Amino acid sequence: MNAPLGFESRTLYIKQPERDQIADSSDVAGLVAKVLADVRANGDAAVARYSREFDKADLDQFEVSAADRAAAVDELDPQTRADTEFAIENVRRFAQAQLGTILPLEVEPLPGLHLGHRVIPIQRVGAYVPGGRFPLLSAPIMTIVPGKVAGCDEVVACLPPNAHRAMIAGCHLSGADRIFRIGGAQAIAAMAFGTETVPSVDKIMGPGNAFVNEAKRQVFGPVGIDQLAGPSEIFIVADSTGDPELIATDLLGQAEHDVRTRVGLITTDRSLAEATVREVARQLETLATAAVAGQSWRDYGEVVLCEDEAAMIAYSDHVAAEHLQVHTADPHAFSHKLRNYGSLFIGENASVVYSDKNVGTNHTLPTMGAGRYTGGLWVGSYVKIATHQWLDESAVAQVAPPAIRQSGSEGLEGHQKAAAIRFDRLRVPA
């Protein structure tokens, strides 16, 4: 695997990835299409069948009752509940602050011409909450809390039936209006099309495995989605001031998510690059999750040595990492030179783990280069900016003549008449 086009003369792999994430993507489209069509046609019966087949779960009902929700909360260890509520409050505060920046608009660019927009919460959203190998207690917080802050009428959560009961508690504490024990592509289908028990939603949020991702891709159109998220990523840009122990720790902290996690160091300092490779190997000897993190590091880990700062910035912007940490002598100044990333972590104290868990920024972020054109999930994902306009007669007098002429030159007689009739009816001053 070569460095990205245009960087060959200015970059050198100290540690090269052995596999390519995109080439390794499973061909799941056919199976997902079958699941979606089946659920659309057969509703709950199809959902139940796939729950038995894929999740080995035979449920009498999909929806978690109010009593079971309360019981799941009561079962939480007190410290776990306190930590969960701490994270919820931080995410809520940040989402409220973000929502405060999204303002209605009314302007009068020409006399009598009034234009504007409204900020309208999406009526019903679906939050897919992944189960994973571990109970990811932060996952429901990130997809449910912003929807409640945005003012959505209803937030529907789906999580795999074998997910840890603490995840049900997390959905409840985060404010989910309804919770269903349905996972995988069948959950996306149920929320997209609706079944006898699951209501159809207007937009689906949240990450998942390859089947969930493909299902979101296939239902997009009539139903909105937040984004298509691939395996997780972390890259660190560092100069000679970088600390190899900190860098290795953060890389492995993300690598333990999944064997397909992409992790990397981009640096201008060869000694730091080589020391980081050694430090990763040292830490893997005692890391409890080394079976996963080690495979991720071996297959998708990379350490890139750059000729200068400009090459380091260019390579980072090409990667557009989901999580991008900045470990440089002046991280704040350096961060302003970067433009492509999901979320930016400025300085050595800003570890991805804090955002993953509780600081308040959302951890549902673009992957696989999507940071070049979009940011991550945020409260703005749960509202629509819908424009409006109204005109008095003075505005019609100004806009109608060019509209009539343009419609005529386009050969659109109906448009021309719609513009002209209003102009012709203007009251002529005495």
End-to-end CA distance of the chain: 79
Amino acid 392: pLDDT: 96
3-state class (DSSP) for residue 105: strand
DSSP assignment of 185-248? HHHHHHHHH--SSSPP-SEEE----HHHHHHHHHHBTTBEES----S-EEEEEE-TT--HHHHH
Residue that has been written with the tokens 């290795």 in this structure:
248
Amino acid 133: pLDDT: 67
* Tens-digit pLDDT profile for residues 3-13: 455 666 688 99
Contact (Cβ atoms closer than 8 angstroms) between residue 214 and residue 32: yes
Q: What are phi and psi of 219, to 5 degrees?
A: -90, -10
Q: Which two tokens stand for residue 368?
A: 């696989």
Q: Could you confirm whether 323 is annotated as catalytic? A: yes
Amino acid 11: pLDDT: 84
Q: How far apart are CA 194 and CA 49, in angstroms?
A: 16
Q: Which CATH architecture has domain 29-229?
A: 3-Layer(aba) Sandwich (3.40)
Q: What are phi and psi of 384, to 5 degrees?
A: -110, 140
Please pick, among 318, 323, 327, 363, the residue that the annotation labels catalytic.
323
* Tens-digit pLDDT profile for residues 378-406: 999 999 999 999 999 999 999 999 999 99
Task: Spell out the CATH class of 8-21+230-360.
Answer: alpha beta
Contact (Cβ atoms closer than 8 angstroms) between residue 263 and residue 231: no
Low-confidence ranges of the chain (pLDDT < 70): 1-9, 21-26, 132-134, 428-430
Check for a shared fold between 8-21+230-360 and 29-229: yes
pTM, entire model: 0.92
Amino acid 46: pLDDT: 97
CA dihedral 234, 240, 242, 243 (to 10 degrees): 130
Amino acid 261: pLDDT: 95
Amino acid 2: pLDDT: 46
Amino acid 1: pLDDT: 39
Amino acid 285: pLDDT: 98
Q: How far apart are CA 207 and CA 230, in angstroms?
A: 8
Q: How far apart are CA 39 and CA 190, in angstroms?
A: 7
Structural domain spans, the chain: 8-21+230-360, 29-229, 392-424
Q: How far apart are CA 276 and CA 282, in angstroms?
A: 10
3-state class (DSSP) for residue 90: helix
Amino acid 145: pLDDT: 98
Q: How far apart are CA 333 and CA 337, in angstroms?
A: 7
Of the candidates 247, 301, 300, 307, the residue with the CA atom closest to the CA atom of residue 272: 247
Contact (Cβ atoms closer than 8 angstroms) between residue 252 and residue 277: no
Amino acid 41: pLDDT: 98
Q: What are phi and psi of 245, to 5 degrees?
A: -65, -45
Please pick, among 214, 233, 256, 322, the residue that the annotation labels catalytic.
322
Amino acid 123 reads Q
Of the candidates 56, 287, 87, the residue with the CA atom closest to the CA atom of residue 160: 56
Q: Could you confirm whether 322 is annotated as catalytic? A: yes
